[in-house]
Structure 1
């Protein structure tokens, strides 16, 4: 197993993994916030802001059915307690699918909590939470979702932090039939976001601002009832990501992150599930 120093060096180098440029004017629409969401310059950058009156949000113009999604974010600086910056994929309706990154703010000097979750057919409750090995407010970092018919992988700067496998063979629903848009929002959730709601939003610090750049989607676009990659839940494509899985090196990196930075795992919360942990918890997910 890799030593801690080697893993740290790998994490440091992975910070500089590049993603291709995108144009937010072409790919996204500001959906709410009354001017608090802004696409800047020629469309290379986007910001969302939150004040006491309102937060803000945007969504992708395209829907996707499987993809490898990358976005660089720089989170709210300073005292971000009570704020949530959400970046996720979601379909619509009561039986929706969803793949979540949520960044829960904290008081100055305390770490952000990176909250992840997976919904399938309207059912979530699959939360895993992490602290990060860097300050996500000082610079941009890349947050990625790999979603293919076999698995969902959450990554930070190219380092996988969580894998959620398709276990339909064991009767567990997996997101594979509903196309999803990309969403992001910055909003106030001080009733629960920071230390269970004990720390409230300090409105003297407004406006709170999160910044975005270098979106990239190597993905199957869904339009008019069909996928750009072909039909069915196993689309025909030459894209490597459609069959991508974690190799031994990636597995070791993920285990290292989970050992050192995971602060909540629903599969270890026996008090929450007194009748027994969810079935998928018997398999790494």
Structure 2
């Protein structure tokens, strides 16, 4: 069953579930459909909507025409509805090569009525293993919701409907590489991962429910200007730290909906946690 929700959080919950309104550009201009074939990847409605589908033969994917170095990336996504067990909808930024940087959202499907798991990760110079996972506080298959990355020289923030769920801070002073040199494109794919995606691979994809389809709309990309601290820039560019209200929202999400944090996994790191885990 879905994770419990306290009545004391009702007012905050109301604000968090409000979808972010975005004025997206034409998806024909923003993205190339890269794989899937046979109409598994489609741009519809004159460029207003994009869909990816998965069947027994193939999944599908797309990538951005542009690449970016720092900015804010927003996309509204409606995930695969019904029995999505075994499927993964990945939405991420990545550079190329063995020493690539990457900022990941991955949505792990589940059987009908059970919550999706939102998996996040950050790769720097080819090294990841920085997973945090969350349940969502809404049904991500019923409506579109906005998934965002704010990427600046001093931190990466993951947001859902404009509420921060994770902050990965620049810890170069501790010897931890930070993604700040390599430009990244935006990618998404819908694929079968029933060897691990749902309950560690115990629940397999039910192909009788195929095709599985996810939908995308209202993409918006804003690159940082200058050093991301230009005069007159939007607030998301100028802030080096979350304000008090946003920090409370972050703590609320992590307290109520985080289900895995690599920085607390003592079995995985018996000799001590990675250096960046010491940052609050």
Place the TM-score, normalised by the shorter chain, in its bin. over 0.9
C-alpha deviations, 1:115-150, integer Å up to 9, x for none?
Answer: 000011111110000000000000000000000111
Matching residue of 2:255: 259
- Are 1:205 and 2:209 an aligned pair? yes
| Cα distance, 1:247–1:31 mapped onto 2, change above 3 Å | same
Matching residue of 1:283: 279
C-alpha deviations, 1:94-132, integer Å up to 9, x for none?
Answer: 100000000000000000000000011111110000000
For 1:154, which of 136, 158, 162 is the aligned residue? 158
Instruction: Spell out the pairing of 1:88-99 with structure 2 (5 A cutoff).
Output: 88-99=92-103
Q: RMSD in angstroms over aligned alpha carbons?
A: 1.5
C-alpha deviations, 1:165-197, integer Å up to 9, x for none?
Answer: 111111111000000000000000000000000
Matching residue of 1:225: none
For 1:249, which of 245, 248, 254 is the aligned residue? 245
Instruction: Spell out the pairing of 1:59-208 with structure 2 (5 A cutoff).
Output: 59-208=63-212
Verify the 8 A CA contact 1:47 1:211 in the aligned structure 2: yes
Matched residues, number: 270
Instruction: Give, in angstroms, the shift of residue 243 of structure 1.
Output: 3.1
Verify the 8 A CA contact 1:150 1:243 in the aligned structure 2: no
Unmatched 5+ stretches in structure 1: 221-228
Verify the 8 A CA contact 2:53 2:213 in the aligned structure 1: yes
For 1:7, which of 12, 16, 24 is the aligned residue? 12
C-alpha deviations, 1:225-269, integer Å up to 9, x for none?
Answer: xxxx45xxx367453333333111000001001000000000010
Aligned counterparts of 1:235 and 1:135: Cα–Cα separation in 2: 34
C-alpha deviations, 1:34-78, integer Å up to 9, x for none?
Answer: 121000021010000000000000000000000100000000000
Q: TM-score, length-normalised on structure 2?
A: 0.93
Aligned counterparts of 1:236 and 1:126: Cα–Cα separation in 2: 28
Aligned counterparts of 2:228 and 2:95: Cα–Cα separation in 1: 19
